[in-house]
Amino acid sequence: KGWLQAGSRKSKEDRLWRMYNDAIDSMEEHLVSRGSDGLLYLNNLDWNGGHTKPVGRSDVAMEHLACFVPGWLALGVPHQTDPARKARHLKLAEELAYTCYQMYEQQPTGIGPERVKGQRMDLSKTDTREYILRPEAAEGWWYMYELTRDDKYREWGWKTFLNFEKHLRVAYGYASLRDVRDPRRGKM
């Protein structure tokens, strides 16, 4: 976003553009993994230093916050001049957006959890099952729709909104949900 907002689009050699591509390259190398369920996950890295090779502990957990990554990949795709990189980034964005959708789709409430640990959508390895009104997935799907014009992203957003209405709506807005696995449990 910073590169786009700064008006740096005139020069693909710009420092911010290089940083963006370097970040995606590192993310692909160190954080992206495919689960036994076939979904693509973006894991966490507790970084303790290191410049050429990260030093730290990898945590096989995808945070809901990571669901914006398809959005920022979608922002960059139209500006890529390397066709191979452009195709790779688009595929990565599509697969991560789908994983985020599955975070919602596979819960009985249709509401995605704060995180998925151990690449287990049934949340059997996840220590917390709440939803705390995160916008990242919906925002990522919106950007993906704007990039691809594929209606599935709008459908995912609409389905999620309907589940918000059903499970999160309170008198003056929306409330967090304690457990996305249990549609009978109360709001926070």
Q: How high is the pLDDT of residue 58? A: 73
Q: What share of the chain is helix, strand, coil (3-state, %, to 5)?
A: 50, 15, 35
156-178 burial string, b = 16+ CB within 10 Å, else e? bbeebeebbeebbeeeeeebebe
Residues 70-119: tens digit of each pLDDT: 999 999 999 998 999 999 999 999 999 999 999 999 999 999 999 999 99
Q: Is 114 a catalytic residue?
A: yes
Q: How high is the pLDDT of residue 138? A: 96
Task: Specify which residues 34 forms β-bridges with.
Answer: 40
If phi > 0 it is left, if psi is from -120 to 50 it is alpha, else beta; for residue 134 that is beta
Q: In degrees rounded to 5, what are phi and psi of residue 171?
A: -50, -45
Q: How high is the pLDDT of residue 48? A: 67
Q: How high is the pLDDT of residue 23? A: 92
Among the ranges given (6-10, 18-22, 36-40), the one the predictor scored with the smallest mean pLDDT: 6-10
Query: How many CA atoms within 13 Å lie on the side-chain side of 185?
Result: 15
- Active-site residue, from 114, 130, 136, 139: 114
pLDDT beyond 80 at 54: no
Residues 127-184: tens digit of each pLDDT: 989 999 999 999 999 999 999 999 999 999 999 999 999 999 999 999 999 999 988 7
If phi > 0 it is left, if psi is from -120 to 50 it is alpha, else beta; for residue 65 that is alpha
Specify burial of residue 51 (Cβ count, 10 A radius: 0-12, 13-18, 19+): exposed
Q: How high is the pLDDT of residue 7? A: 66
Q: How high is the pLDDT of residue 185? A: 59
Q: Using the 8-state DSSP alphabet, how is residue 106 labeled?
A: T
